[in-house]
Amino acid sequence: MPSKRYKKATEVVDGHKPYPLKGAVEILAKFPKAKFNETVDMAFRLGVDPKQSDQMVRGTVPLPHGSGKVVRVLVFAKGGPAAEAAKAAGAEYVGFEDMIKKCQDGWTDFDVAVATPEAMGEVRKLGKVLGPRGLMPNPKTGTVTDDTAKAVKEVKAGRVEFKIDKAGNIHVPVGKASFTPIQLEENARSVIEAVVKARPHSVKGTYIHSCTISATMSPPVRVDVREYIVH
């Protein structure tokens, strides 16, 4: 049963109408606020077949104003400069055998994992633990690298990852309800542009069927993304 706050929010928006991004963010700002700092997400329904390997949509995008989230980072590194650099950059957890053992025991109390190429031989064995949670380091997202300091800083500064799910959808956080409309708009624009750029060459026809922006407890607002698509 929708709450009174949710019902009140639906009166502000036309659920069938796509709004320009700026207008969509302004409507979102008018919704009644929850008692906590809600996360603002964008959702895309894509015209791709996730079962086809050449139609995988995945990438990362730095948010100009950060995600508003405190990101806990684990770095797998076999000691030496890479481990020290990761610690200096602010990684909460740095280690190798000890961290692998901890994860094997089911520990996943972190948000992003980074690994050096050298460490990946052993880290790959954590696939069953990290894979389903989207925590496995991956070269495509910049989380398998010798430059651990750069990876840690980028993640903590607000670089977010996006990846298509089995239903052909993408969900990406773009900030918090406490952000100004301009901050949310600029973050959201960066995400839209990144998803558009990630279009697989093998995809024919309509790529983005729909795009919405919403807060944790709010109804979605449809966003018109046609201006971002190059024909």
79 and 57 both lie in a single domain: no
Say which DSSP state 79 is in: S
Residue 158 has pLDDT above 90, yes or no: no
pTM attached to this predicted model: 0.78
Q: What is the pLDDT of residue 101?
A: 95
77 and 25 both lie in a single domain: no
Domain boundary among 107, 130, 156: 156
**Distance in angstroms (rounded) separating the CA atoms of residues 72 and 54:** 32
CATH number for the domain that contains residue 51: 3.30.190.20
Residue 53 has pLDDT above 80, yes or no: yes
13 and 30 both lie in a single domain: yes
Domain boundary among 130, 156, 182: 156
For residue 57, give every residue at least 6 positions away whose Cβ sits within 8 Å of its Cβ, in sequence order, or none: 46, 48, 162, 163, 164, 170, 195, 198, 199, 200
Q: What is the bridge-based pairing of β-strands 159-163 and 93-95?
A: unpaired
61 and 83 both lie in a single domain: no
151 and 174 both lie in a single domain: no
- Angle CA 64–65–68, to nearest 5: 135
**Distance in angstroms (rounded) separating the CA atoms of residues 59 and 48:** 15
> Structurally, how many domains does the chain consist of?
2
Q: What is the pLDDT of residue 153?
A: 92
118 and 179 both lie in a single domain: no
Q: Structure tokens of 31?
A: 């919704």
Query: For all residues of the chain together, what is the average pLDDT?
Result: 91
CATH number for the domain that contains residue 85: 3.40.50.790
62 and 94 both lie in a single domain: no
Q: What is the pLDDT of residues 63-107, one digit of tens each?
A: 999 899 889 999 999 989 999 999 999 999 999 999 999 999 999
Residue 4 CA from chain centroid, whole number: 30
Half-sphere exposure of 101 (CA within 13 A, CB side): 4
Q: What is the bridge-based pairing of β-strands 112-115 and 73-76?
A: parallel
146 and 165 both lie in a single domain: no
Query: 124-134: b or e for each residue (b if 16 or more CB lie within 10 Å)?
Result: eebeebbeeee
* Containing structural domain, residue 80: 73-156
Residue 26 has pLDDT above 90, yes or no: yes
